[in-house]
Structure 1
Amino acid sequence: MGAVTGLQDLLRAYAPQVLAAVVRRYGDFEACEDAVQEALIAAAAQWPETGVPEQPRNWLITVAGRRRVELLRNETARRRREEAARHDPTPEVRGDDELALLLLCCHPALSVPAQVTLTLRAVGGLTTAEIARALLLPEATVGQRISRAKQRIRESGARFETPATDLAAVRHVLYLIFNEGYTASSGEALNRVELTREAIRLTRQLHRRLPDDGEVAGLLALMLLTDARRVARTGPDGGLVPFAEQDRARWDASAVAEGIAIITRALEHTPIGPFQLQAAIAAVHDEAARAEDTDWRQILALYGMLHALAPSPMVTLNRIVARAMVDGAEAGLDALDEVAADPVLARHHRTAAVRAHLLERTGDRAGASAQYRLAARLTLSLPEQRYLESRAARVAS
Structure 2
Amino acid sequence: MAALDDVRVLDLTQVLAGPYCTMLLADLGADVVKIERPGGDLIRPNPPFVGDEDAYGGYFQSVNRGKRSLEMDLTDEEDREDFLGLVEDADVVVENFRAGTMEKFGLEYERLRERNPQLVYASIRGFGDPRTGETNRQGQPSFDLIAQALGGVMQITGQEDGPPTKVGPGIGDLFTATLNAVGILAALHHRDRSREGDESCEDGESGEGQYVDTAMYDSMISMCERTIYQHSYTGEVPERRGNSHPTLFPYNAFEARDGYVVIAAFGDNHWSALCEAMDRPDLAAEFPTAEDRLKNRKSLREEIADWTSERTADELCKLLEGSVPSAPVQDASDVFADPHVHARDMLVEVEQPGTDEQVTIAGSPIKLSETPTKPGERAPLLDEHRAELLGDRADPAEASDDD
Shorter-chain TM-score bucket reads under 0.3
TM-score for the superposition, normalised by structure 1? 0.23
Q: Determine which structure has the larger helix proportion and give its number.
A: 1
TM-score (norm 2): 0.23
Quick check: which has more Rg, 1 or 2?
2
Greater share of strand: 2
The structure showing larger relative contact order (alpha-carbon pairs under 8 Å, at least 6 residues apart) is 2
